Amino acid sequence: MSISHLKIAFLLLHLHLINAHTVNVPKVSAVLVFGDSTSDPGNNNFILTAFKGNFPPYGRDYPNKKPTGRFTNGLLASDMIARYLGVKDNVPPYLDPSLTVHDLMTGVSFASAGSGFDPLTPTISNVIPLPRQLEYFREYKTRLAAKFGKARTMEIVNNALYIVSAGTNDFVVNYFTLPVRRQKYSLPSYMDFVMNKELDFLQSLWNEGARKIGVVGLPPMGCLPIVITLFSDNAFFDRGCIDFFSSVGRAYNSMLQNRLNLMQLDHAQQGGRITYIDAYSTLFDVIVEHKYGFKEVKRGCCGTGLLETTVLCNPKSSTCPDASKYVFWDSIHPTEAVYRIFFESSRSIVDYIVMD
């Protein structure tokens, strides 16, 4: 072989090694999560609230059958996103005292089951408000800076993926169930109120250095088993979705998409993306269109599946033998199988948010 051929061979080998190395480099520095029970991996374990999921049968299909505090039978979509991006196997709760600074640097969740954008919502269950989650994020940055310095910390912060998933509790647990907000706000004005709180939170997150933000919309709330049970005229015999509640989700999501588009334009010169992630269509396809072949779409796997959630879904509750055939684990929260479908349907959006 000539010297020129050897040079070409070495060059090709070098390029191959570079490409092989690049494949293993995560697309983001960390995954950082804010919101409610759809993304709380166990922060509520460490606060004084009854709204916990750190006991069986929660976690029945999690590795080692461990009830972590996730309000489902296994993984959350945020865990799957972290795995997909090559950051870590699952996103732990920020309040877990066993986490090291190296655990922190690749991402945590600040989310708290039962929380919402309306300041009244987290007080109902005594859980962590969104502004407090933001304070924890500032504390998180301080802890990283103490170890890695401010420059490295901001590099991590700027290159992390942020997931914000909340809002359902503001309507289902707060506005539609309790009288306080209905006495003060019409439904349209309350939607505006929650929207402004959400946008304020997102702006504050941006001000802290977030540049890759995915914002999850509301689900078809009228299809949640607990909503059907509480608000249907004949809930034990007619378990169909109540479109009024779902229509609120559609209207709010439309407003949210428009406002996020405007927010994106306002920040275009600074780089980064603030992007809507559609949860409504996925759940609608699963529940109403029956596109994925689930056996049970109207009640949860735990107990009767009509009202059980948190302490009502407990070690004494009966459960379905195969949760993968159920849309809901309890009367509010999806099964891991549905979170996986949501993750798969959102991958292209995640790729768009994190791309350079």
Residues taking part in catalysis? 37, 330, 333
Separation CA 32–CA 39 (nearest Å): 10
Q: Report whether the peptide linkage leading into residue 57 is cis, meaning its omega lies within 30 degrees of zero.
A: yes
Q: Structure tokens of 309?
A: 């959630």
Separation CA 102–CA 179 (nearest Å): 45
Separation CA 35–CA 44 (nearest Å): 12
The b/e string for 55-85 (b: 16+ C-beta within 10 A; e otherwise) is: ebbbbbbbeeeebbbbbbbbbbbbbbbbbbb
Which runs of consecutive H residues, i.e. helices, occur in the chain? 3-23, 77-84, 101-105, 120-125, 130-148, 150-158, 168-169, 180-184, 187-207, 225-231, 243-266, 280-287, 336-354
The answer for residues whose C-beta is within 8 angstroms of residue 31's C-beta and 6 or more apart is 78, 81, 82, 85, 87, 88, 91, 106, 107, 160, 161, 163
Q: Which amino acid is at 25?
A: V
Separation CA 94–CA 43 (nearest Å): 7
